[in-house]
Amino acid sequence: MARLTLTALMTLLALNGLSFGQDKDQGKPWTAKPEVIEKFESRRGDFIYRESKVPEYQLPDPLMTTSGSRVTTPQEWMRTRRPELLQLFRDTVYGNRPDVDYKMSYQVLEEKTGLFEGKAVGRSMQATVTIGDRSYSYPFTLFIPTKAKKPVPAVIHINNRYFLSMDKVIEEHDPFWPVRTLIDRGYATASFHTSDVCPDKKDGYEEGVRAFFADGKPPEDKAWRSLSAWGWAGSRILDHLETLKEIDSSRVAIVGHSRGGKTSLWAACEDQRFAIGYSNNSGCGGAALSRRAYGETVARITSSFPHWFCPPFADYGGRENELPVDQHEIFALLVPRAAYVTSADEDLWADPRGEYLSVVASKPVFELFGKKSIGNSTMPALNSPRHVGNTGYHIRTGGHGLEQQDWDWFLDFADGQFKK
């Protein structure tokens, strides 16, 4: 009997118009380049950059409740397990948002029409939160396509680097928030700067929205920290988008890079109105599995950035196996919505494999809802986006950054989700 080699079989399938597996990756699965590993080891030793050094770990089963029963229906997940898991993350990692009544208002500070060859309107906006006679404001910038016949999807961008004003965006294309691309592809988009909500520094508490909510009192151990407050600010922009008839608020993605990517994922866990959570190079405390302790670790991140996470998270530094949650359960909290995750070839600090495996490990929850998601634990090749059902992933050439290429591939995924 003739034997078919794997390559021959794949060629045969391809000739018959069938693809092998659920994606069309080409090339070899990604692995870290030896020279990149050596560079990290020489610059930032004391951390793990080799798979052979990753400790043994066992991930918590997202479908298992704390009382030891297994969730078997979507209803049970939504009614009991999801709230339980969300609360575990709040109490252990990101903190609890304040339970205080407040009002929001939005002001158009300036509007410019006919932008980008007549395709968009731009607005300089201010969001204001009011409690009694006190208020706190932060700016954001909004662009909306004007030629669409139907309400358009939107992308809310968390800018962890700088504030991009309307005029700056009009003057110069910035791939960190490529407004022109978004408009050309039919998306409205808004962006704010994290530090305008909570200064991104250890001692910035008093100046930010968290102190405003607490009326200046110091934060309790389980109270929200900056990542959660930045995500909250994104949700308040979504509140505003919901009031605009040009925008379809059921099709809104939240996007962030690095610390902004940790924020976008958590924002989409706290706020189920976000249709897609997109984390770009988010690493530790974002998409990457804490238990792998590859690259940046819980101990390191909580000592360098104590204002990002609530203090209980720091207690798990060096004993990640005891964490009641791990980051794959962030994706479980996004179900039945969609998640997009990216890594970069030279960004070992963020643990590309840990970011990918995290998505894979959330699969049982997508399955519970009858949704397809990435389940192949072999990573795709470099620059070969993998889209399966409600999840997408790519690893790009180069280092830590949110680049035009990341956006282009993300928008391909978003187009698919939003059936554009």
> Which residues make up the interface to ligand GTR (CB under 6 A)?
160, 258-259, 283-284, 296, 301
What is the gyration radius of the CA atoms in the chain, in angstroms? 22
Comparing CB distances to ligand GTR, the nearer of 277 and 283 is: 283
Active site residue 400: yes
CA neighbor of 67 nearest in space, from 85, 52, 49, 94: 85
Burial 137-162 (b: 16+ CB within 10 A, else e): ebbbbbbbbbebeeebbbbbbbbbbe
Closest contact distance (angstroms) between CB of 296 and ligand GTR is: 5
**Distance of closest approach, residue 401 Cβ to ligand GTR, in angstroms:** 9
Minimum distance from residue 294 beta carbon to ligand GTR (Å): 13
Provide, rounded to whole angstroms, the least separation between the CB of residue 309 and ligand GTR. 11
389: alpha, beta or left? (left if phi > 0; alpha if psi -120 to 50): left
User: Is 394 designated active site?
Assistant: no
Evaluate whether 247 touches 150 at the Cβ level (below 8 Å): no
Contact 77, 71 (CB under 8 A): yes
Phi, psi of 257 (to 5 degrees): -115, 135
Q: Which is nearer to ligand GTR, 89 or 187 (CB)?
A: 89
Let me know: does 275 contact 241? Beta carbons within 8 Å.
no
Q: Which residue is nearest to ligand GTR (CB)?
A: 258
C-beta of 25 vs 351, nearer to ligand GTR? 351
- For the CB of residue 34, give the shortest distance to ligand GTR in the complex, in Å: 23
The DSSP 8-state label assigned to residue 28 in this structure reads P
Nearest approach in angstroms of CB 282 to ligand GTR is: 7
The CB-of-118 to ligand GTR minimum distance in angstroms stands at: 36
- How far apart CA 330 and CA 354 sit, in angstroms, is 13
Residue with Cβ nearer ligand GTR (342 or 417)? 342
Those residues whose C-beta lies under 8 Å from the C-beta of residue 43, and which sit 6 or more positions away, are none
Q: Is 258 or 358 the residue whose CB approaches ligand GTR more closely?
A: 258
DSSP of 99-154? ----EEEEEEEEEEEEHHHHTEEEEEEEEEEEETTEEEEEEEEEEEESS-SSPEEE
Nearer to ligand GTR, 158 or 241 (CB): 158
- Report how far residue 408's alpha carbon sits from residue 419's, in angstroms, rounded to the nearest whole number: 16
- The catalytically annotated residue of 124, 165, 249, 400 is 400
The residue (of 164 and 275) whose beta carbon lies closer to ligand GTR is 164
Q: Which residues contact 242 (CB under 8 A, 6 or more apart)?
A: 249, 273
**Active-site option among 191, 195, 258, 290:** 258
Sheet arrangement for strand 188-193: 103-114, 120-131, 134-145, 188-193, 152-159, 247-257, 276-280, 338-344, 391-396, 386-388
Residues annotated as part of the active site: 258, 400
